[in-house]
Structure 1
Amino acid sequence: MGQPETGPWNDASLSVDQRVEALLGRMTLEEKVSQLGSHWEMRQEEESQGEVAPMEEAMSSGKLPFAEEILNGEGHLTRTYGTTPVSVAEGAKDLRERQAAIMASNRFGIPAIAHEECLTGYTAYQATVYPTSLAWGATFNPELIQEMAAAIGRDMGATGVHQGLAPVLDVVRDPRWGRVEETIGEDPYVIGTLATAYVRGLQSAGVIATLKHFAGYAASRGARNHAPVHMGRRELLDLIFFPFEMALREGQVGSVMNSYSDLDGEAPAASKWLLTDVLRQEWGFQGTVVADYWSVAFLEKMHRVAADQEEAARLAISAGLDIELPHTGGYRTLAAQVREDRLEEAVLDRSVRRVLTQKVKLGMLEPGWEPEIDEAVDLDSDANRALARRVAQQSLVLLKNNGTLPLDPSAAGRVAVLGPSADDPRTMMGCYSFPNHVLAKYPAGTFPHKGIGVPMPSILDALRERLSHVTHEAGCPIVEYDDANIAGAANAAAEADLAVVTVGDLAGMFGAGTSGEGCDVEDLKLPGAQQELVEAVLATGTPTVLVVISGRPYALGEVADRCAAIVQGFFPGEEGGPALADLLTGAVEPTGRLPIGVPARPGGQPTGYIAAPLGQNSQGVSNLDPTPLYPFGHGLSYSAVHYTDFQLESAELAVDGSVNVSATVHNTGRRPAAEVVQLYFGDRHAQVARPVRQLLSYARVELAPGASKKVTFWVHADRFAFSGVDYTRIVEPGIIDLWIGPSAGDLPLAGEINLVGETRRVNGPRILVTPAHII
């Protein structure tokens, strides 16, 4: 096409808005539409591995070859590094060539935004695999998650990537859902604070973060992937929306992705209420809304709210969905629809303006722009691995301990390390890790390091480094039911002084594992024959440490009383094995806390600890008790921590005021501790049924042996707001109960405060954070 046409849009001395409007005013309809699509180029070896997702071929029926797709430019490039095992140099060559072709094919030389997945680290070959999102929740440490996200962002930015499709802010309502591992847990405040930290970290490296999935995806009927969501609007407004609003207002996130599931029949990809009224008009969002892959096609083929792809595209862009991913389909028809007066050009311009604004801010319209790629970048550097180790260590939760832990390596005796997770490093990673997401499709042994591409010591490897006398039997697989080798594992336990039994999940996609996207379950019994394995080992009488490495909580009520200790890990990543060995042997202190409760029984799942009185144990009205075995926030230390001195600054609080609430925690043991001090509240009486208790804030407190620290929480009345009978957000006068303790089920300190004044409407921006001060 020759030299690109230049103009004010290339002038960095002008404002972003001036540059965007100048360029928008010069573009044809086809050039505008080109900015709202993407291209996903499948290499030959990728296509040979089969579909990325079910119905992919049907959803991709309108896909054009790359050369035709980019004739007037391109908005995005989909996963250049993330869908096949390429080196940085190979991916860089491909990305440079594609960007050059795109720039040469449009009049203005506009490049495309390159996006990748980054939920458990950069989803690229031989990149660091960090703990998955549920493990972030277990750290209760926003500063650490921000540090991790910044490291991920730097690696992505070094390879020419502009946008990451993370974090996931879905609030878990049923742990049988396969994507629980991708969430941060069941509490909106923990999700909001940790997701906001992730957003800040990723965007500090110049990579746009993407909140997903807006909204309600994790509350699907029967916990089935993509199933309809039927919940009251109040639950949506007060529980599901909260973390999204926090990450948007507090984190200034650059992008949001829609949910697949319909909300009471309304498809989010076509919901003006969600994508415009709430996101933009109520919350003031200025970034882009990107489609979850093929969700525009879903409007016709799955939701059936559109007769064809033209109508699907018109519905989506009119609702506020700016960019169609993973490739352009129905959006290609938008230029013709404007010409035929079926779509106002102003609607098209609105979305194009948002895309161009991002590109200007990213410096992509500067003269001479080309991808900045450091081909020498080490995507699994020593610094990354050390950071992954710290996150893994802080994410492991000690659920029970009768004094067996920590193990003394010099006196541990004979240790039988049993179970299918012990020597399979894939069990340390989530479904969006590159080894499980991509490499699992290739024949075993195709890639180095046991086929997973990066060095990943197993639990067995790590324990053998620390303990002198270790034997091993797998006992059974994870995915299939096979109990043939359980007797051998039980014999090994009987001959040992201690048994460490490792059970849990193997993450996969669409039924290829026991956890992950499309890997939903009927109940919360351990997969395969693992329950039988645990029972057989316990029957030997050998003291048993149960280690659960999983993507969701599993019911442990039938075995917990007989275990000497129980440790829960949520896919702790490539350094998970060494981190677990560190915890078991006392090299580090157990500091993780449950971001989601562990159930007692496999059926009758609770909907989470945040429930009104009728959602709690009904004391005989129903024979089913939803009380968890281990509640939200639970986690033990190797030391003893006591709570004293609950203080309220005032007995009354104006409905628009603030108050300080404090307590003192004491480490009375002989080892250091990191206590997660948790502040809960309950609305004693309200015009609608309210949760019995809900987390208001938390603080991670480092305590040396014998040390005490005072934790003071600054609480604004906005934090007590809820949707009233008419769905208006209000702060209502009345008594608020307050509790402080180590978990939702253990709250030794209590008080109450009287909210005074007239009922106050809370419109517009509000206080979303309850900060803590520690002295």
Structure 2
Amino acid sequence: MKKLCFLALVVVGLLFNACGSKEASLKDYKDASLSIEERVEALLPLLSLEEKVAQMRIFHANIGVKHDENGKLKLSEKVIKKLKLGIAGIKNPGEHVDAITAAKLNNELQKYIIEHNRWGIPALFVTESYNGVDATGCTKFGRPMTSAASFNPELVQRQWDVVGREARLRGMHMCHSPEADLVRDPRFGRMSEAFGEDTYLTTQMVKNAVIGVQGNYEGLGNGTHIGAVTKHFAAYGQVLGGSNFAAIEISPRTLIDEIYPPFEAAVKEAKTLGIMASHGDINGVASHGNPELLTGVLRDQWGFEGYVVSDSNDIARLHYFMNVAETPEDAAQMGLEAGIDIDLYAEDSYAYLPEMVKKNPELEKLIDRSVRRVLRTKFILGLFDNPYINIEDVEKGNRAESSLELAKESDLESIILLKNEANTLPLDAKKTTKIALLGPLVTENTKAMFESVAGDNIKFVAEKGFHLTDETGGEPKLLPRDGRALDKLVSIARSSNVVVLFMGGDEFTSKEAFFTHALGDRATIDPVGPQDELIERIKALGRPVIVVLKHRRTLSINAIAEHADAILDTWDLSEFGDESTARIIFGEVSPSGKSPVTIPRSIGQIPFHYSMKEINYKKEYLFLGKGPLFPFGHGLNYGDFEYSDISISKGEITPDTELEVSVKVTNNGSMKAKEVVQMYIKDEIGSVTRPDKELKGFQKIEFDAGESKTVSFKITPQMLEFTRLDMQKGLEAGDYTVMLGTSSKDYLETKFKLVK
């Protein structure tokens, strides 16, 4: 009997110790004085397998997260079921309501999630950013390609700082942006989501976007900013034919030297919290099942410590679309082994992991690896200690006056003056009495915005005339030519002193081609509809014709370039875009944007970026003009800049030294203006064929009328590294040419040698 009592006491003691251990662990992971790693390791063992897998999944709020008619949180049965075990995150909760309503909704949603999973683990709420935060009631900035045209990384950082602040005020925590892809094929409908064709420019922009949105990393834990998920790793913009979901064929050397650097900078220099894998493959290896890419390069080489998330449903697509996995379970295992930590949206991928572990227990080690990364992110963001938004802060911080002014400033620095025949611009408001604002890209606010800038001396008449498509969301259709509409536009133009034509493309002629029921890529890049006919007819009237080009992909604007007296390339500006354009037209500010892409004459010239190998330029095409319509880096202004006196500090550089190259720049014009001084370097002889030239530096500098400045750049050995014949990245001795100028085609040059 005594023996039985002793055994009973032992059992009770063991149970007490087990409970005590669990309570100690519970206390540990909630103890803010511990390191993040200690808190993660305290929490992870408490989770069941099913709870771990829940921390590896994100669903979209559109399956049932909303407010009811009384403004209270309403969840669908499907969502309630998903949240019982906790969740990694939810995409876009509150995206269609104003900031205060969204903050209240997300506070309620977070409270529900914390209270309805065993360990009180908060969720990540995730957004995106293409024109600022992709949600109702936020400051609307220009798209990334528009920002790239500013050639001003500091301005981009300030812009994304606002994005990070406004997103956090809504209760968001992560952003599936920015894009670090290079875009060199204008057939691709997502072109304007990225920062252009050039490696160096994109690297500077992406790095500063990540720093901005994350509040220089310090804004994450103090609750003022959100984490970046830099995407799409890797080479997504290089899809064949510019067709979304198509294969990607790219040389390993190009991948290392041109595609990787923006991602590497986002990881090493900007500390991006997340990475999203690419829809595509790379030379036959699907990115979502590529351990060499997602673990070997990203983590082992670059030291990335954040989480990797799939693009929409792409782990499952390893089976049913990419056809590289025999079963859905095989696809899940491929993604897990490759290094994807979170499955975005799919119900037929990581959802199978609990059952898969029963057959293969070793998989739980990989699951633990991913869950650590997700929990670590939540601790970095401070969500265990401060998961809610202070509603009083939202009204003060969202759409602050400083943010709206920044949107205008960004516009003014991003507008590109492509052409200005006979100094058509700026217009003299005192000499102009009636201006026609015409064309398919005129908006309901265009006239009012121009009037707000020009005042009462000028009469404006605005007429859209025709639409470019039927504006069906999934698959827009072209409309038949409307002769009456064209006649009306010409008639209005005839009675005006000056015509401003708003032309190009819109969100229906260039957009993401989603997996099903959507098209957004194009087989040609000519302007759609009767736009060429419109400018030809109006030009024949003899009036000055100014074209405001709005678009989301590069267009072959041959007729526009021929007939317009002036062209302002605005890409896709902020909510104040037409006001900013008017300020440029009337000379309040000189344009200072530069083209972040090469503008071709024809789709037949593709591929056609400025930094192609020199041998690509040997031959032109029959019956087509020579070279691009406008080169990379091109952009005029109201100054009259002269470059002279290029000099270099010495004629040789070694692996341990640097050079300095300088040029004198003078504004011979009568107006203050900003100029982007660009530095390109050409490797004259290499063990492999080398680019014709590569952008290696730029400075945007303001000059008073008549002012001269000496602009200097450092040349470092790192700028000269490339992947050599032996596939090792390094230096090669030889001759180099350095070019300083106003574009990739207009510059002064000097030479130096690399001596090893």
Shared fold per TM-score greater than 0.5: yes
Report the equivalent of 1:279: 298
Report the equivalent of 2:374: 355
Per-residue deviation, residues 28-68 of structure 1 (Å, max 9, x unmatched): 22221111112323267999xxxxxxxxxxxxxxx981122
Superposition pairs for residues 403-442 of structure 1, below 5 Å? 403-424=423-444
Report the equivalent of 2:174: 163
Are 2:317 and 1:317 aligned? no
Are 2:92 and 1:71 aligned? no
Greater Cα shift, 491-500 or 168-177:
491-500
The structural deviation recorded for 1:617 is: 4.8
Q: How far apart in 2 are the matches of 1:353 and 1:518?
A: 38
Per-residue deviation, residues 628-678 of structure 1 (Å, max 9, x unmatched): 111111111101111122121221111343222222211111101110000
Q: How far apart in 1 are the matches of 2:246 and 2:396?
A: 41
The structural deviation recorded for 1:518 is: 4.3
Report the equivalent of 2:107: 96
Q: How far apart in 2 are the matches of 1:753 and 1:145?
A: 33
Contact 1:524 1:601 in 2 (8 A): yes
The alignment partner of 2:62 has SS state of: coil
Contact 1:617 1:627 in 2 (8 A): no
Q: How far apart in 2 are the matches of 1:109 and 1:457?
A: 53
The structural deviation recorded for 1:683 is: 0.8
Report the equivalent of 1:233: 252
The structural deviation recorded for 1:609 is: 0.9
The structural deviation recorded for 1:577 is: 0.7
Report the equivalent of 2:202: 191
Report the equivalent of 2:752: 753
Per-residue deviation, residues 551-581 of structure 1 (Å, max 9, x unmatched): 1221123342332111100100201010000
Are 2:507 and 1:496 aligned? no
The alignment partner of 1:212 has SS state of: strand
Per-residue deviation, residues 382-411 of structure 1 (Å, max 9, x unmatched): 322211111111110011112111011121
The structural deviation recorded for 1:460 is: 5.6
The structural deviation recorded for 1:424 is: 4.8
Identity within the alignment, %? 31
The structural deviation recorded for 1:750 is: 0.7
Give the aligned residue type for 1:575.
F
Q: How far apart in 2 are the matches of 1:27 and 1:511?
A: 42
Report the equivalent of 1:180: 191
The structural deviation recorded for 1:372 is: 4.5
Report the equivalent of 1:738: 738
Report the equivalent of 2:695: 695
Of 397, 405, 413, the residue aligned with 1:394 is 413
Give the aligned residue type for 2:129.
C
Report the equivalent of 1:636: 636
Per-residue deviation, residues 108-132 of structure 1 (Å, max 9, x unmatched): 2110111111221111112111000
Count residues with an aligned counterpart.
704
Are 2:39 and 1:19 aligned? yes
The alignment partner of 1:719 has SS state of: helix
Of 461, 478, 481, the residue aligned with 2:468 is 478
Are 2:33 and 1:32 aligned? no
Q: How far apart in 2 are the matches of 1:591 and 1:30?
A: 55
Superposition pairs for residues 184-223 of structure 1, below 5 Å? 184-204=195-215, 205-206=219-220, 207-223=226-242
Give the aligned residue type for 1:388.
A
The structural deviation recorded for 1:728 is: 1.5
The alignment partner of 2:46 has SS state of: coil
Contact 2:447 2:462 in 1 (8 A): no
Contact 2:550 2:569 in 1 (8 A): yes
Judged with a 3 Å threshold, the aligned counterparts in structure 2 of structure 1 residues 89 and 567 are, in CA distance, closer, same or farther, namely closer
Give the aligned residue type for 1:491.
S
Q: How far apart in 2 are the matches of 1:705 and 1:96?
A: 54
Contact 2:513 2:521 in 1 (8 A): no
Judged with a 3 Å threshold, the aligned counterparts in structure 2 of structure 1 residues 301 and 509 are, in CA distance, closer, same or farther, namely farther
Judged with a 3 Å threshold, the aligned counterparts in structure 2 of structure 1 residues 201 and 658 are, in CA distance, closer, same or farther, namely same
Contact 1:418 1:475 in 2 (8 A): yes
Q: How far apart in 2 are the matches of 1:651 and 1:659?
A: 8
The alignment partner of 1:399 has SS state of: strand
Bigger fraction of residues in helix:
2
Q: How far apart in 1 are the matches of 2:456 and 2:200?
A: 38
Report the equivalent of 1:468: 458
Judged with a 3 Å threshold, the aligned counterparts in structure 2 of structure 1 residues 689 and 633 are, in CA distance, closer, same or farther, namely same
Greater Cα shift, 382-391 or 610-619:
610-619
The structural deviation recorded for 1:328 is: 5.5
Give the aligned residue type for 2:59.
H
Contact 1:78 1:327 in 2 (8 A): no
Give the aligned residue type for 1:661.
V
Judged with a 3 Å threshold, the aligned counterparts in structure 2 of structure 1 residues 343 and 542 are, in CA distance, closer, same or farther, namely farther
Contact 1:39 1:77 in 2 (8 A): yes
Report the equivalent of 1:57: none
Q: How far apart in 1 are the matches of 2:24 and 2:506?
A: 50
Give the aligned residue type for 1:755.
L
Contact 1:523 1:603 in 2 (8 A): no
Contact 1:80 1:91 in 2 (8 A): yes
Normalised by the size of structure 1, how large is the TM-score? 0.86
Q: Where in structure 2 are there 5+ consecutive unaligned residues?
A: 1-22, 68-75, 221-225, 470-477
Give the aligned residue type for 2:463.
E
Contact 1:617 1:625 in 2 (8 A): no
Q: How far apart in 2 are the matches of 1:342 and 1:290?
A: 23
The alignment partner of 2:736 has SS state of: strand
Report the equivalent of 2:70: none
Report the equivalent of 1:553: 554
The structural deviation recorded for 1:754 is: 0.6
Judged with a 3 Å threshold, the aligned counterparts in structure 2 of structure 1 residues 678 and 510 are, in CA distance, closer, same or farther, namely closer
Report the equivalent of 2:611: 610
Report the equivalent of 2:317: 298
The alignment partner of 2:574 has SS state of: coil
Greater Cα shift, 536-545 or 207-216:
536-545
The structural deviation recorded for 1:303 is: 0.9
Contact 1:557 1:599 in 2 (8 A): no
The structural deviation recorded for 1:307 is: 2.8
Contact 2:257 2:723 in 1 (8 A): yes
Normalised by the size of structure 2, how large is the TM-score? 0.88
Superposition pairs for residues 542-621 of structure 1, below 5 Å? 542-618=543-619
The alignment partner of 1:646 has SS state of: strand
Give the aligned residue type for 2:752.
I
Greater Cα shift, 547-556 or 306-315:
306-315
Q: How far apart in 1 are the matches of 2:189 and 2:626?
A: 20
Report the equivalent of 1:150: 161
The structural deviation recorded for 1:416 is: 1.7
The alignment partner of 1:520 has SS state of: coil
Contact 1:458 1:577 in 2 (8 A): no
Give the aligned residue type for 2:537.
A
The alignment partner of 1:139 has SS state of: coil
The structural deviation recorded for 1:275 is: 0.7
Q: How far apart in 1 are the matches of 2:499 and 2:507?
A: 25
Give the aligned residue type for 1:742.
T
Q: How far apart in 1 are the matches of 2:442 and 2:356?
A: 58
Per-residue deviation, residues 243-269 of structure 1 (Å, max 9, x unmatched): 111222221111111111222222111
Per-residue deviation, residues 493-531 of structure 1 (Å, max 9, x unmatched): 2232211111011214987999x9941111121122212
Report the equivalent of 1:7: 27
Are 2:531 and 1:530 aligned? yes
Judged with a 3 Å threshold, the aligned counterparts in structure 2 of structure 1 residues 700 and 512 are, in CA distance, closer, same or farther, namely closer
Q: How far apart in 2 are the matches of 1:244 and 1:211?
A: 7
Q: How far apart in 2 are the matches of 1:558 and 1:391?
A: 29
Q: How far apart in 2 are the matches of 1:420 and 1:124?
A: 26
Judged with a 3 Å threshold, the aligned counterparts in structure 2 of structure 1 residues 287 and 44 are, in CA distance, closer, same or farther, namely closer
Give the aligned residue type for 2:212.
G
Contact 2:598 2:608 in 1 (8 A): no
Q: How far apart in 1 are the matches of 2:699 and 2:496?
A: 41
The alignment partner of 1:122 has SS state of: coil
